[in-house]
A = this chain, B = another copy of it.
Amino acid sequence: MNNQNRFKEKVTIDDVARLAGVSKSTVSFVLNNRPSISAATRDRVRDVIRKLNYQPNQIARSLSSRQTRSIGLVVKQIDNPYFTKIMRGVFEYFSGCGYTVLLGSSELQPDREKSSIEALLRQRVDGLILSPLQGSDADMSHLSLISQNQVPLVLLEKVANVAANVVDIRNEGAACEAVSYLIGLGHRKIAYYSGPDYSMHNRERLTGYRRAMMEHGLPFSASGVRQAGVYLADGYAAAKAQFSGSGERPTAVFCFNDLVAIGVMNALMELGVHIPEDVSVIGFDDIEFCGSVRVPLSSIRVPAYEMGKAAADLLMQQIGKTDSVIRKTVELEATLVPRASCARADGRPAGGIPKKKHASPDGLRTAGGMA
């Protein structure tokens, strides 16, 4: 009946109220720093709280206040270095302001994206950060599900025809920059090893690639694009297929991400193709290991950690402020980091820094010396 004689029951607000000789309302007010409490009772209540080591039940709080002080983060792959940095950025931001982060991931399967979102909405997160899969068929019904629930949302890539808060990177521009750099080195036959087609980032990078080719009057043909994927094994397989075949070979390969690029390099090395003398390679994301792989890998540096923080910040601006819905798109810079994996088309070293200013080209120092 009463919960005094129960074994080791949790301390509740009632226990505190009883011991402090006040009502639970008063305790609640103290807990939430309401002004209308005298210093004397405030201190008394706080003493009791400390004495009982009382921890308010966040679930009960959530139910009555309709705020869970938690947010959901749905990525595409939990163990992908790019998302990993984003996760850290998001986590650090929210743990700094007393929010909890609930983990979600589609692991590249649309149905699992949907179920992840549903699970998080059931847990009544106060907001959602989502890196959406978006195929050409584009079943974006779960997005409307989110807006139905009026949960603040920040997307980690643009979605066509959806007005939402977005934190994204300059994919097209950076891709164009990378391919232009290769062209500047004298390359004419440049391949794009593409990511999955449910990725907007992939589509934008493809556009950047195409634009660079066209702007320089180079032939853009579909054959220049090879379907790879997101994994090391995808790049490996794609390169093995192309370079062990008898077809025409590119002298440079621009890859959807660093994992694909590293897979490509592994394959080429196995086939006796030299990097960068025979083929130049550029990746995307600039993960930590770019400077440490067989041939230091040129890549596009993406500020993933900062993206996470930015997305968190943008989401936080929405939470609580029910009025004046913000619709903002933050686009972060992404710039080429040239390293040894690129050379001139005739095989000579790339030499100095290309026209535009870039981050330090020194793969070794950068990768070895910094955390």
Contacts and interface: CB of A to CB of B under 8 A. Distances in A.
Interface of A: 8, 10, 55-60, 62-63, 68, 70, 73, 78-79, 81, 84-85, 87-88, 91-92, 95, 98, 100-105, 107, 112, 115-116, 118-124, 149-150, 231-234, 236, 262-263, 265-267, 269-270, 288-289, 291-294, 364-365, 367-371
Contacts of A370: 232-233
Contacts of A263: 368
Contacts of A85: 79
29 contacts: A55-B121, A59-B59, A59-B124, A70-B102, A73-B103, A78-B84, A78-B87, A79-B81, A79-B87, A84-B84, A95-B112, A100-B103, A100-B119, A102-B103, A103-B103, A232-B367, A232-B368, A232-B370, A232-B371, A233-B371, A236-B368, A236-B369, A265-B292, A266-B292, A266-B368, A267-B368, A270-B364, A270-B368, A293-B293
B59 A63 contact: yes
A63 B70 CA distance: 16
Top 8 A-B pairs ranked by shortest CB distance?
A: A266-B368, A233-B371, A79-B84, A78-B88, A58-B122, A231-B371, A236-B368, A101-B103
Chain A interface main SS type: helix
Contact of A102 (B78, B102, B149, B234): B102
Nearest to A85: B79
A368 B267 CA distance: 7
B123 A266 contact: no
A58 B289 contact: no
Nearest to A296: B294
Nearest to A293: B292
A95 B124 CA distance: 16
Contact of A87 (B103, B115, B364): B103
A73 B100 CA distance: 12
B123 A59 contact: yes
A357 to B, nearest CB: 25
A63 B122 CA distance: 14
Contact of A63 (B63, B265, B266): B63
Contacts of A107: 88, 92
A60 B122 CA distance: 10
Nearest to A53: B148
Given A79-B81, A91-B78, A292 B294 contact: yes
A120 to B, nearest CB: 7
Nearest to A99: B119
Contacts of A98: 119
B289 A262 contact: yes
A242 to B, nearest CB: 15
Given A70-B102, A102-B102, A233-B368, 19 more contacts: A58-B122, A59-B123, A63-B63, A70-B123, A91-B103, A92-B107, A95-B105, A100-B103, A102-B103, A103-B103, A232-B368, A232-B370, A233-B369, A234-B371, A262-B289, A262-B292, A266-B364, A266-B368, A292-B293
A57 B123 CA distance: 7
